Amino acid sequence: QVQLAESGGGLVQPGGSLRLSCAASGSIFSRNAMGWYRQAPGQQRELVASINTYGNTNYAMSVKGRFTISRDNAKNTVYLQMNSLKAEDTAVYYCNTNPSYIAWGQGTRVAVSS
C-alpha cells in the first residue's frame, strides 16, 4: 500500500518562503500526475499545484507566480516551493496523485503570521 509523507511546513512571516516535500513509499510518481492540495480551517481541500509525467505544471490563480511544483521520480518525491507567502496561504498541505486516489497522508501545517 502506497503511503504519502509530507514535510517542511512551519510558521513563517508574511513574505517568507517554505519548501514542502512529499515522499511516497512506492514508485507511483513516474506513472501519475501529482498534486499539492491544501485545506484551510473551515474550508474544503483544494488543489493548488499539479505536475504531470512530462513535467508540465498548473497552478491555482491564488498561488500562480509564487509557488513552484517539481518532482524527482528517482527519489519518489514531489516538492512545493512557496515564496511570498501570505496569511491566506495558512493551511494544512497534502500531496496526492491528480486526481487523488491514494489515501491521504497527515499533511504538513503551514502557518503564515507576523
Write the DSSP string, 40-80.
-TTS--EEEEEE-TT--EEE-TTTTTTEEEEEEGGGTEEEE
pLDDT at 16: 98
Instruction: Return the C-alpha cell found at 24.
Output: 511516497
* 69 close to 80: Cβ distance less than 8 angstroms: yes
pLDDT 10s digits, 72-114 = 988 889 999 999 999 999 999 999 999 999 999 999 999 999 9
Does residue 99 have a cis bond before it (omega within 30 degrees)?
yes
Share of residues in the chain with pLDDT > 90 (%): 81
pLDDT at 27: 63
pLDDT at 98: 94
Instruction: Return the C-alpha cell found at 97.
Output: 496523485
pLDDT at 26: 64
* 10 close to 91: Cβ distance less than 8 angstroms: no
d(CA 55, CA 53): 5
For the purposes of burial, counting CB atoms within 10 Å of the CB of 23, is it exposed (0-12), middle (13-18) or buried (19 or more)?
Answer: middle
